[in-house]
Protein backbone atom coordinates (compact mmCIF):
# COMPACT_ATOMS: atom_id res chain seq x y z
CA UNK A 1 0.00 0.00 0.00
CA UNK A 2 1.04 3.57 -0.63
CA UNK A 3 -0.01 6.55 1.43
CA UNK A 4 -0.28 9.63 -0.74
CA UNK A 5 -0.73 12.90 1.09
CA UNK A 6 -0.92 16.12 -0.85
CA UNK A 7 -2.74 18.73 1.16
CA UNK A 8 -2.84 22.04 2.97
CA UNK A 9 -4.07 22.24 6.55
CA UNK A 10 -4.46 25.50 8.45
CA UNK A 11 -4.38 25.77 12.18
CA UNK A 12 -4.81 29.34 13.37
CA UNK A 13 -2.21 31.29 11.41
CA UNK A 14 -0.03 28.23 10.90
CA UNK A 15 -0.15 26.48 7.52
CA UNK A 16 1.04 22.95 6.82
CA UNK A 17 1.63 22.32 3.13
CA UNK A 18 2.93 18.87 2.19
CA UNK A 19 3.13 16.51 -0.75
CA UNK A 20 4.48 13.08 0.17
CA UNK A 21 4.17 9.48 -0.91
CA UNK A 22 5.00 6.78 1.60
CA UNK A 23 5.34 3.12 0.66
CA UNK A 24 4.64 0.17 2.89
CA UNK A 25 7.60 -1.73 4.22
CA UNK A 26 9.52 1.46 4.84
CA UNK A 27 10.00 3.42 8.03
CA UNK A 28 9.68 7.16 7.51
CA UNK A 29 10.75 9.73 10.06
CA UNK A 30 9.35 13.23 10.06
CA UNK A 31 12.06 15.37 11.61
CA UNK A 32 11.59 18.98 12.56
CA UNK A 33 11.92 21.56 15.30
CA UNK A 34 9.06 22.29 17.69
CA UNK A 35 6.18 24.03 15.99
CA UNK A 36 7.18 22.82 12.53
CA UNK A 37 3.87 21.02 12.01
CA UNK A 38 5.05 17.44 12.63
CA UNK A 39 2.25 16.59 15.01
CA UNK A 40 -0.30 18.30 12.77
CA UNK A 41 0.88 16.09 9.90
CA UNK A 42 0.44 13.00 12.05
CA UNK A 43 -3.00 14.10 13.25
CA UNK A 44 -4.24 14.76 9.73
CA UNK A 45 -3.04 11.31 8.59
CA UNK A 46 -4.86 9.80 11.57
CA UNK A 47 -8.02 11.71 10.72
CA UNK A 48 -7.99 13.65 13.98
CA UNK A 49 -7.70 16.89 12.09
CA UNK A 50 -9.37 18.16 8.92
CA UNK A 51 -7.50 19.35 5.85
CA UNK A 52 -8.36 22.56 4.05
CA UNK A 53 -7.45 21.57 0.50
CA UNK A 54 -5.91 18.66 -1.38
CA UNK A 55 -6.35 15.00 -0.56
CA UNK A 56 -5.01 12.01 1.34
CA UNK A 57 -5.19 8.51 -0.11
CA UNK A 58 -4.45 5.16 1.52
CA UNK A 59 -3.84 2.99 -1.52
CA UNK A 60 -6.95 3.32 -3.67
CA UNK A 61 -9.02 4.58 -0.80
CA UNK A 62 -9.53 8.34 -0.59
CA UNK A 63 -9.66 9.13 3.12
CA UNK A 64 -9.56 12.90 2.71
CA UNK A 65 -10.58 15.10 -0.18
CA UNK A 66 -11.28 18.65 0.86
CA UNK A 67 -13.86 19.83 1.48
CA UNK A 68 -16.33 16.97 1.14
CA UNK A 69 -14.66 13.70 2.15
CA UNK A 70 -13.32 13.10 5.64
CA UNK A 71 -13.14 9.49 6.75
CA UNK A 72 -13.28 9.41 10.55
CA UNK A 73 -10.29 8.04 12.51
CA UNK A 74 -12.44 5.04 13.45
CA UNK A 75 -12.67 3.90 9.83
CA UNK A 76 -9.12 4.62 8.64
CA UNK A 77 -7.28 1.56 9.87
CA UNK A 78 -4.50 3.57 11.47
CA UNK A 79 -2.68 2.69 14.65
CA UNK A 80 -1.37 5.62 16.66
CA UNK A 81 1.21 5.59 19.44
CA UNK A 82 0.70 8.91 21.16
CA UNK A 83 3.36 10.95 22.85
CA UNK A 84 3.02 10.01 26.56
CA UNK A 85 1.16 6.96 25.19
CA UNK A 86 -2.36 7.97 26.35
CA UNK A 87 -3.01 4.54 27.84
CA UNK A 88 -6.42 4.35 29.50
CA UNK A 89 -5.55 4.57 33.21
CA UNK A 90 -8.71 2.81 34.40
CA UNK A 91 -8.11 -0.29 32.28
CA UNK A 92 -5.51 -3.03 32.76
CA UNK A 93 -2.76 -3.49 30.19
CA UNK A 94 -4.64 -6.44 28.71
CA UNK A 95 -7.89 -4.45 28.49
CA UNK A 96 -6.05 -1.50 26.95
CA UNK A 97 -4.76 -3.73 24.16
CA UNK A 98 -8.13 -5.48 23.74
CA UNK A 99 -9.93 -2.12 23.51
CA UNK A 100 -9.28 -1.76 19.77
CA UNK A 101 -10.42 -5.22 18.67
CA UNK A 102 -13.46 -4.89 20.97
CA UNK A 103 -14.32 -1.52 19.40
CA UNK A 104 -14.14 -3.05 15.95
CA UNK A 105 -16.68 -5.70 16.89
CA UNK A 106 -14.62 -8.65 18.12
CA UNK A 107 -16.17 -10.74 20.87
CA UNK A 108 -14.73 -10.50 24.35
CA UNK A 109 -12.97 -13.82 23.85
CA UNK A 110 -11.48 -12.93 20.46
CA UNK A 111 -10.32 -9.55 21.72
CA UNK A 112 -8.68 -11.20 24.69
CA UNK A 113 -6.92 -13.68 22.42
CA UNK A 114 -5.63 -10.88 20.18
CA UNK A 115 -4.49 -8.97 23.23
CA UNK A 116 -2.61 -12.06 24.44
CA UNK A 117 -0.99 -12.53 21.04
CA UNK A 118 0.21 -8.92 20.98
CA UNK A 119 1.56 -9.16 24.51
CA UNK A 120 3.40 -12.35 23.53
CA UNK A 121 5.09 -10.82 20.54
CA UNK A 122 6.20 -7.80 22.57
CA UNK A 123 7.19 -9.84 25.61
CA UNK A 124 4.91 -8.08 28.05
CA UNK A 125 2.58 -10.92 29.10
CA UNK A 126 3.61 -10.49 32.73
CA UNK A 127 2.12 -6.98 32.70
CA UNK A 128 -1.37 -8.16 31.65
CA UNK A 129 -3.15 -7.33 34.88
CA UNK A 130 -1.27 -4.18 35.80
CA UNK A 131 -2.71 -0.72 35.40
CA UNK A 132 -0.79 1.83 33.27
CA UNK A 133 0.08 3.71 36.46
CA UNK A 134 2.01 0.68 37.71
CA UNK A 135 4.39 0.17 34.79
CA UNK A 136 7.58 1.94 33.71
CA UNK A 137 7.94 4.33 30.80
CA UNK A 138 9.65 1.75 28.60
CA UNK A 139 6.95 -0.80 29.34
CA UNK A 140 4.28 1.82 28.67
CA UNK A 141 5.77 2.39 25.25
CA UNK A 142 5.50 -1.29 24.42
CA UNK A 143 1.93 -1.44 25.68
CA UNK A 144 1.04 1.57 23.55
CA UNK A 145 2.63 -0.11 20.53
CA UNK A 146 0.80 -3.38 21.25
CA UNK A 147 -2.48 -1.48 21.56
CA UNK A 148 -1.92 0.30 18.25
CA UNK A 149 -0.95 -2.94 16.45
CA UNK A 150 -3.84 -4.97 17.88
CA UNK A 151 -6.27 -3.51 15.35
CA UNK A 152 -3.99 -4.66 12.50
CA UNK A 153 -3.75 -1.20 10.94
CA UNK A 154 -2.46 -0.43 7.44
CA UNK A 155 -0.61 2.61 8.70
CA UNK A 156 1.26 2.93 11.98
CA UNK A 157 1.87 6.45 13.30
CA UNK A 158 4.12 7.24 16.24
CA UNK A 159 4.34 10.68 17.83
CA UNK A 160 7.74 11.24 19.47
CA UNK A 161 7.90 7.57 20.49
CA UNK A 162 11.02 7.93 22.62
CA UNK A 163 10.67 11.48 23.93
CA UNK A 164 9.03 10.46 27.20
CA UNK A 165 11.91 8.18 28.19
CA UNK A 166 15.05 8.95 30.12
CA UNK A 167 18.41 8.49 28.43
CA UNK A 168 19.15 5.13 30.05
CA UNK A 169 15.99 3.27 29.04
CA UNK A 170 15.94 5.00 25.70
CA UNK A 171 18.58 2.89 23.99
CA UNK A 172 17.02 -0.42 24.94
CA UNK A 173 13.54 0.74 23.96
CA UNK A 174 14.85 2.14 20.69
CA UNK A 175 16.40 -1.20 19.75
CA UNK A 176 13.15 -3.00 20.61
CA UNK A 177 11.08 -0.45 18.70
CA UNK A 178 13.40 -0.88 15.74
CA UNK A 179 12.71 -4.64 15.68
CA UNK A 180 8.97 -4.14 15.99
CA UNK A 181 8.52 -1.52 13.30
CA UNK A 182 10.82 -3.34 10.86
CA UNK A 183 8.62 -6.42 11.31
CA UNK A 184 5.45 -4.42 10.63
CA UNK A 185 4.21 -4.95 7.07
CA UNK A 186 2.36 -1.66 6.55
CA UNK A 187 3.58 1.93 6.38
CA UNK A 188 5.30 3.37 9.41
CA UNK A 189 5.58 7.10 9.98
CA UNK A 190 7.05 8.54 13.13
CA UNK A 191 7.58 12.09 14.21
CA UNK A 192 10.64 13.19 16.15
CA UNK A 193 12.73 16.22 16.96
CA UNK A 194 15.73 14.02 17.79
CA UNK A 195 18.07 13.45 14.81
CA UNK A 196 19.48 10.34 16.47
CA UNK A 197 16.07 8.62 16.50
CA UNK A 198 15.55 9.57 12.87
CA UNK A 199 19.00 8.31 11.83
CA UNK A 200 18.80 5.03 13.70
CA UNK A 201 15.19 4.03 13.08
CA UNK A 202 14.23 5.38 9.68
CA UNK A 203 14.89 4.37 6.08
CA UNK A 204 13.80 7.78 4.96
CA UNK A 205 13.79 11.14 6.70
CA UNK A 206 11.43 13.97 5.79
CA UNK A 207 12.49 17.29 7.27
CA UNK A 208 9.67 19.65 8.10
CA UNK A 209 10.31 23.33 8.90
CA UNK A 210 7.57 25.92 9.35
CA UNK A 211 4.97 23.66 7.80
CA UNK A 212 6.98 22.98 4.64
CA UNK A 213 9.14 19.99 3.64
CA UNK A 214 12.70 21.24 3.28
CA UNK A 215 14.54 17.99 2.73
CA UNK A 216 13.60 14.40 1.96
CA UNK A 217 16.14 11.61 1.78
CA UNK A 218 17.92 8.72 3.46
CA UNK A 219 19.70 9.34 6.76
CA UNK A 220 23.01 9.06 4.89
CA UNK A 221 22.01 11.75 2.40
CA UNK A 222 20.97 14.07 5.21
CA UNK A 223 24.27 13.68 7.00
CA UNK A 224 26.37 14.08 3.85
CA UNK A 225 24.37 16.81 2.17
CA UNK A 226 22.26 18.86 4.51
CA UNK A 227 20.20 21.35 2.52
CA UNK A 228 19.12 23.72 5.27
CA UNK A 229 20.96 25.27 8.15
CA UNK A 230 18.58 23.44 10.54
CA UNK A 231 19.68 20.04 9.20
CA UNK A 232 23.32 21.14 9.08
CA UNK A 233 23.19 22.22 12.71
CA UNK A 234 21.56 18.92 13.68
CA UNK A 235 24.30 17.03 11.87
CA UNK A 236 26.89 19.24 13.50
CA UNK A 237 28.34 20.56 10.23
CA UNK A 238 28.76 23.97 8.62
CA UNK A 239 26.56 24.61 5.63
CA UNK A 240 27.75 27.34 3.32
CA UNK A 241 25.59 28.64 0.48
CA UNK A 242 26.84 30.60 -2.48
CA UNK A 243 27.53 30.84 -6.23
CA UNK A 244 30.22 28.59 -7.68
CA UNK A 245 32.43 29.44 -10.59
CA UNK A 246 35.50 27.50 -11.72
CA UNK A 247 36.27 25.96 -8.34
CA UNK A 248 35.62 29.12 -6.38
CA UNK A 249 32.59 29.56 -4.17
CA UNK A 250 31.38 33.13 -3.70
CA UNK A 251 29.65 32.87 -0.36
CA UNK A 252 26.26 34.43 0.20
CA UNK A 253 26.86 37.18 2.74
CA UNK A 254 30.52 37.62 1.85
CA UNK A 255 33.72 35.60 1.59
CA UNK A 256 35.32 33.25 -0.93
CA UNK A 257 36.10 29.53 -0.61
CA UNK A 258 38.07 27.25 -2.90
CA UNK A 259 36.18 24.02 -3.49
CA UNK A 260 37.47 20.80 -5.05
CA UNK A 261 34.39 20.33 -7.26
CA UNK A 262 35.59 22.69 -9.98
CA UNK A 263 32.92 21.69 -12.50
CA UNK A 264 30.07 23.09 -10.37
CA UNK A 265 28.40 26.27 -11.58
CA UNK A 266 25.60 28.38 -10.16
CA UNK A 267 23.93 28.00 -6.78
CA UNK A 268 25.83 25.58 -4.60
CA UNK A 269 25.80 24.25 -1.03
CA UNK A 270 29.09 23.37 0.62
CA UNK A 271 29.51 21.21 3.71
CA UNK A 272 32.45 21.99 5.92
CA UNK A 273 32.97 19.67 8.87
CA UNK A 274 33.95 21.35 12.17
CA UNK A 275 36.80 18.91 12.73
CA UNK A 276 38.28 19.77 9.31
CA UNK A 277 38.82 23.39 10.35
CA UNK A 278 42.07 24.59 11.87
CA UNK A 279 42.28 27.69 14.05
CA UNK A 280 45.39 29.91 14.20
CA UNK A 281 46.44 32.97 16.16
CA UNK A 282 48.46 34.37 13.23
CA UNK A 283 47.85 34.26 9.53
CA UNK A 284 48.54 30.65 8.51
CA UNK A 285 51.09 29.62 5.96
CA UNK A 286 50.95 26.24 4.27
CA UNK A 287 48.95 24.22 1.84
CA UNK A 288 45.50 25.25 3.02
CA UNK A 289 44.16 27.58 0.36
CA UNK A 290 41.20 28.69 2.38
CA UNK A 291 42.17 31.06 5.18
CA UNK A 292 40.11 33.88 6.57
CA UNK A 293 39.91 35.99 9.67
CA UNK A 294 37.19 36.27 12.32
CA UNK A 295 36.28 36.72 15.97
CA UNK A 296 35.42 33.99 18.48
CA UNK A 297 31.73 34.40 19.37
CA UNK A 298 31.11 31.32 21.49
CA UNK A 299 32.81 28.40 23.24
CA UNK A 300 30.78 25.27 24.03
CA UNK A 301 32.49 22.44 25.90
CA UNK A 302 31.50 18.94 24.73
CA UNK A 303 32.74 15.86 26.59
CA UNK A 304 35.96 15.35 24.61
CA UNK A 305 36.24 18.57 22.60
CA UNK A 306 35.20 22.19 22.45
CA UNK A 307 32.97 23.75 19.83
CA UNK A 308 34.20 27.18 18.83
CA UNK A 309 31.78 29.48 17.00
CA UNK A 310 33.58 32.04 14.89
CA UNK A 311 31.97 35.19 13.53
CA UNK A 312 33.52 35.64 10.09
CA UNK A 313 32.70 35.61 6.38
CA UNK A 314 31.56 32.91 6.16
CA UNK A 315 30.83 32.18 9.86
CA UNK A 316 31.81 28.66 10.96
CA UNK A 317 31.81 26.28 13.88
CA UNK A 318 35.07 24.45 14.55
CA UNK A 319 35.90 21.75 17.06
CA UNK A 320 39.22 21.70 18.88
CA UNK A 321 40.67 19.72 21.77
CA UNK A 322 40.99 21.08 25.28
CA UNK A 323 44.76 21.15 24.78
CA UNK A 324 44.46 23.36 21.70
CA UNK A 325 42.15 25.69 23.56
CA UNK A 326 44.82 26.10 26.23
CA UNK A 327 47.54 26.68 23.63
CA UNK A 328 45.53 29.22 21.69
CA UNK A 329 44.27 30.93 24.87
CA UNK A 330 40.91 31.51 23.24
CA UNK A 331 38.12 33.54 24.79
CA UNK A 332 34.94 35.06 23.42
CA UNK A 333 36.03 38.12 21.43
CA UNK A 334 39.50 36.80 20.54
CA UNK A 335 40.58 37.53 16.95
CA UNK A 336 41.36 34.31 15.12
CA UNK A 337 42.41 32.92 11.73
CA UNK A 338 40.47 30.04 10.19
CA UNK A 339 41.85 27.62 7.64
CA UNK A 340 40.39 24.66 5.81
CA UNK A 341 41.97 22.44 3.20
CA UNK A 342 40.09 22.62 -0.07
CA UNK A 343 39.78 18.81 -0.25
CA UNK A 344 37.84 18.67 3.02
CA UNK A 345 35.02 20.73 1.55
CA UNK A 346 32.18 18.91 -0.09
CA UNK A 347 30.11 21.05 -2.41
CA UNK A 348 27.01 20.10 -4.37
CA UNK A 349 24.53 21.98 -6.46
CA UNK A 350 21.08 22.39 -5.00
Binding site for other proteins (CB under 8 A): 46-48, 72-76, 78-80, 82, 84, 86, 88-90, 99-100, 103-104, 147-148, 151
Is 45 or 317 the residue whose CB approaches other proteins more closely?
45
**Letter string b/e over residues 110-144, b meaning 16 or more CB atoms within 10 A of that residue's CB:** ebbebbeebbeebebeebeeebbeebeebbbbbbb
The answer to whether the beta carbons of residues 128 and 104 sit under 8 Å apart is no
Q: How open is the CA angle 76-78-83, to the nearest 5 degrees? A: 135
Burial class of 202 by CB neighbour count within 10 A (0 to 12, 13 to 18, 19+): buried
Is 96 or 339 the residue whose CB approaches other proteins more closely?
96
Smallest gap from Cβ 349 to other proteins, in A, equals 43
Is 45 or 222 the residue whose CB approaches other proteins more closely?
45
Smallest gap from Cβ 178 to other proteins, in A, equals 23
Give the separation between CA 277 and CA 306, rounded to whole angstroms.
Answer: 13
Smallest gap from Cβ 171 to other proteins, in A, equals 26
Is 148 or 189 the residue whose CB approaches other proteins more closely?
148
Is 117 or 224 the residue whose CB approaches other proteins more closely?
117
Smallest gap from Cβ 74 to other proteins, in A, equals 5
DSSP string, 65-92: ETTTEE--GGGS-EEEEBTTB---TTS-
| Among 237, 168, 187, CA closest to 20 | 187
Smallest gap from Cβ 155 to other proteins, in A, equals 10
Amino acid sequence: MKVIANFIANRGDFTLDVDITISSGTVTAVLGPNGSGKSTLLRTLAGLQQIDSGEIRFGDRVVNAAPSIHVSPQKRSVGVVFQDYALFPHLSVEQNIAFGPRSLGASKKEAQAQSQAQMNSLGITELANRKPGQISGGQGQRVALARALATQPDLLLLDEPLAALDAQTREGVRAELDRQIKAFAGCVVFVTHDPLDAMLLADRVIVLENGVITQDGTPGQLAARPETSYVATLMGVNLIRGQAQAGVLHVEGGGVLHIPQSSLEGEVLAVLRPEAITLHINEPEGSARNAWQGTVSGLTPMHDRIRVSVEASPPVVATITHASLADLKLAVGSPIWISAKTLTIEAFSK
